[in-house]
Structure 1
Amino acid sequence: MFPYASAKAGLVGLTRSMALEVGPRGVRVNAVSPGYIETDLLAEYFEQEQPDVRREAESKHILGRLGTPEQVASVVAFLLSDAAGFVTGADWAVDGGVSARFA
């Protein structure tokens, strides 16, 4: 898992650095980090694995279920809106709490 963790840390660092760089010009930069999201790609992965792999993935989420693309899109829409006008340099976890297990 170290390549994934390294890449994610790099993206979070890039987000913060870009926010520092372009913030003075009024540009906001944020990251969205989804957990397991109900997509065709994930469904295909689960179909190739043992039946308990999906249950195991769901059990890692504090909410006990997978997210939907619409839930991720809602967070992105918020971040693009004026309501998030004072939000920059942040990483928004849209992961049903799975990242809390690794904190």
Structure 2
Amino acid sequence: MGRFQGKRILITGGTSGMGLAGAQRIVKEGGHVAITGLNEERLARARNLLPETSLILRSDAANEADINALQTAISSWGSLDGLWLNAGFADVSSPESITAEAFNRMMNANVRGPMLQLAALSGSLNSGASVLVTSSSSVYEGAAMTSLYAATKGAVVAMVKSWASALAVRGIRANTLVPGPIETNFRHFMPEESRKQFEEFVVNQVPLRRAGTAEEAAAVALFLLSDDASYVTGSQYAVDGGLVHY
């Protein structure tokens, strides 16, 4: 009997990286998974990797119609024992080059999206369920080119702390995962040469002297989603090899 035997877990942004690694492990531990994504190729690959009983949906966290459709789909699929809001994206730019369009796009995906998803899906959460939201070590790194991205992920930390208080009356926990340099899709939003330089710079600051794997990040996420973390709420869990201290 695994930790997720008979449980239903929804992972947004679950078609690659730590989201997909988490979904595969939940299935191995007896659970049922629903995942969302945008990339058709990754959606197709996930369908091949996960059981036919899994719910795999194309859904944009920044699109209100997609959020409403997700709510309807989950209502038909079954109530949730876990919700991992992992969807989002990153980009880099100097403070002087940030535009209103770029600001709105990233805020919509990384902040508005999970906020509205939680609002829409709250009624589907069972008593004792766990909510997890993915933030980033960028919040604490102070990197010159990540001010907008770091701001969105800092907002995530703040809203989850409030969720922990609001949802506690229903026995629902809410926590934040704070991944650092993770190999899968690591800084994929950067140009190739800039990405290599940035990865080397960041990894050299990690006490463990390496990037983490998707499976290592998923392992911590699944601890927080499981009953093993039944007395953990309103917390931030770093998976960063010791990169940041807060």
Deviation at 1:28, TM superposition (A): 0.6
Counterpart-to-counterpart distance in 1, 2:195 and 2:157: 33
Change (3 A) 1:5 1:50: closer
Indicate whether 1:79 and 2:224 are aligned: yes
Unmatched 5+ residue regions in structure 1? none
Bigger strand fraction: 2
Give the length in aligned residue pairs: 101
Greater Cα offset, 47-56 or 32-41 = 47-56
Deviation at 1:45, TM superposition (A): 4.7
Higher alpha-carbon deviation: 36-45 or 9-18: 36-45
- Residue 55 of structure 1 corresponds to which residue in structure 2? 200
> Mean Cα displacement is larger for which, 36-45 or 22-31?
36-45
By percentage of residues, which structure has more helix? Answer: 1
Range moving further from structure 2, 2-11 or 79-88: 2-11
Where in structure 2 are there 5+ consecutive unaligned residues?
1-145
Matches of 2:178 and 2:171, distance apart in 1: 23
Residue in structure 1 matched with residue 160 of structure 2 by the alignment:
15
Change in 2 beyond 3 A, CA 1:5/1:42:
closer
Secondary structure class of the residue paired with 2:163:
helix
**Distance in structure 2 (CA, Å) of the matches to 1:27 and 1:20:** 9
Runs of 4+ deviating beyond 6 Å:
none
Where does 1:18-97 land on structure 2 (aligned, <5 Å)?
18-40=163-185, 42=187, 45=190, 47-49=192-194, 52-97=197-242
Higher Rg of the two aligned structures: 2
Cα 1:69/1:46, change in 2 over 3 Å = farther
> Comparing both chains, which one has the higher relative contact order based on Cα–Cα distances under 8 Å and sequence gaps of 6 or more?
1
CA RMSD of aligned residues (A): 2.2
CA contact (8 A) 1:46 1:53 kept: no
Give % identity: 37
